[in-house]
Amino acid sequence: MNNKPDVSVVIIFLNAEQFIEEAIESVFAQTYKNWELVLVDDGSSDSSTDIAKRYAKEFPQKIKYLEHENHKNRGMSASRNLGIKNAVGNYIALLDADDVWLPQKLEQQVAIFESHPRAGMVYGLSQYWHNWTGNGEDGEQDHIPIPNFSMNTLIEPPNLLLKSYPLGDSIAPCPSDLIFKRNVFERIGGFEESFTGDYQLYEDQAFLTKVYLNEPVYIADQCWDKYRQHPNSCVSTVNQAGQYHKVRHFFLKWLEDYFSKQGVNDQDILNAYQRSMWPYHHPILHQFSGIYRSFKDGAVHFAEQKLPPQYFQLLMSWLHITYRPAIGMVRFGSFRRLSPISEYFGFDRGAPIDRYYIEEFLADHSDDIKGRVMEIGDNRYTLMFGEQVEQSDILHVTDNNSNATIVGDLANADHIPSDTFDCLIITQTLHLIYDMRAAIKTLYRILKPGGVLLLTVPGITRISNDEWRNTWYWSLTDLSTKKLFSEIFPETNLNTQVYGNVLAATAFLQGLAVKELKKKELDYSDTHFQVIIAVRAVKP
């Protein structure tokens, strides 16, 4: 090869003639082109060997074909290790022969590594793909499982070990979604080759355990691959043979030995391990615990029906029970209504919930509010959070605001001089401008070099019923916000923050005030329920 590729893609395969070409073609379809492909044959006896050799012969500058000595079948871990040891890229991306990638997978994952240099591994979401059959009923089963923790962030070791299956209660990533640095593979010792036969079901979990214990991992909320569901997959064959618990027990025993060798003494990890082993140590008690759980669920349903809501919640808190009512058992209370409790975002009841998040964001970045500062509508936040403000300007779209020092529309504001402001505070404004790109270009232009934009936009929200009703064009997500701003500001100068959760979003839609929720309820962050998206952007 003339140029060393940055990414080495490793596909291992065993009798994969039905699917392997589709997997290979999904690598060629990548928008990121600086890759090599390593095809590792684990002793196939069908035509997949010929298919792989044909691709390697046709594209010798891009593809390598490897096999074990004497064409032996040595298992998935040994095959992955062989492929990676013969790869040359700084990043290793895995793709199973029965899965496919979406075109921007490598481009976006490499960009994450570049913007988060401490990350040892990156992964996102996978589509559990039934519709590959072309059968309409199978398509109805397609879904993208979402982990129950925050994404789009770097998670430090060993937190993912406690959050993710098999010690945690969140889903494990699909191997075809993983990309990691070559030196991570070398540091942790690669894949465990003792996982052979049926036990291969957990070979990826053993590898992930070692990564989670030692390396920061970035998890994105983007889907980059299709995880094919079919009856001949490793997962399906183990489950069909009734061997799942035997295989899981083998993995947990390996895990105990690994923890011992590594000197793991984190009590939270050891406790999680013991909970996972409990059904195997006490199988009879485990059966009785299932009966107890059924009894407890019935008792909880009864208590919810008979107790006043405040006493029921107190009981659940005292018993440390996270309660999810059954269908037909949800008590709507004051929320069973077709109009919100407040028509005015909660202003008539106190401070609106979205303002809590906006002000938290500005307080966190108060050091940026200095020099010459411009704010929209009034300068309340400039005065509340500003430090060393030398001049305070107020922009309003019309001339009916007597406090405004500048009148203009951000989408058409050539009269505002360039390179003027040290800080711009733009809260809940951008969604009222149809041509958001033009507005962001104006904000970029009028900032001084090194100047800071502090901006918020709505995510989950009602629409105003006041003068702004006729210009309320948009609601955004963190993904659309990042993409929009990265077209104008360099990604390295751009940070976004998401605020909200399901309770805060529900309360905000109903028009409740901040004082009606507890602080811990407001501060809990769940990126699936985005009330406010905040942006800090710096002009180079």
> Which pLDDT does position 243 carry in this prediction?
85
Tokens of 229: 């569901």
Instruction: Give the Cα separation of 164 and 172 in Å (integer).
Output: 6
> Which pLDDT does position 277 carry in this prediction?
83
Crossing angle of the two packed helices 353-364 and 502-510, in degrees rounded to 10: 120
Is the CB of residue 452 less than 8 Å from the CB of residue 362? no
Instruction: Give the Cα separation of 244 and 236 in Å (integer).
Output: 10
Closest CA to 173 of 116, 112, 222: 222
> Which pLDDT does position 24 carry in this prediction?
98
What number of H helices and E strands is found in the chain? 19, 16
The one-character DSSP state at 352 is B
Q: Is the pTM of this model over 0.85?
A: no
For residue 250, the one-letter residue type is: F
- Tally the residues of the chain: 540
The one-character DSSP state at 533 is E
Is the CB of residue 388 less than 8 Å from the CB of residue 401? no
> Which pLDDT does position 297 carry in this prediction?
63
> Which pLDDT does position 498 carry in this prediction?
95
Instruction: Give the Cα separation of 254 and 490 in Å (integer).
Output: 46
Tokens of 293: 């759980």
> Would strands 121-129 and 63-67 be described as parallel, antiparallel, or unpaired?
unpaired
Tokens of 340: 């919100």
Strand partners, 455: 426, 535
Instruction: Give the Cα separation of 405 and 218 in Å (integer).
Output: 44
| Alpha helices, DSSP H, located in 353-435 | 353-364, 380-385
Note the Cα 257 to chain centre separation in Å. Answer: 31
Closest CA to 454 of 412, 496, 512: 496
Is the CB of residue 107 less than 8 Å from the CB of residue 30? yes
Instruction: Give the Cα separation of 242 and 522 in Å (integer).
Output: 45
Crossing angle of the two packed helices 76-85 and 203-214, in degrees rounded to 10: 50
Is the CB of residue 486 less than 8 Å from the CB of residue 440? no
Per residue in 341-362, pLDDT (tens digit) is 999 999 999 999 999 999 999 9
Is the CB of residue 200 less than 8 Å from the CB of residue 77? yes
Per residue in 400-415, pLDDT (tens digit) is 999 999 999 999 999 9
Instruction: Give the Cα separation of 280 and 225 in Å (integer).
Output: 34
Crossing angle of the two packed helices 267-281 and 283-306, in degrees rounded to 10: 110
Tell me which residues of the chain have a pLDDT lower than 50: 1-2, 286, 288-289, 291-292
| Alpha helices, DSSP H, located in 1-135 | 20-28, 48-58, 76-85, 105-115
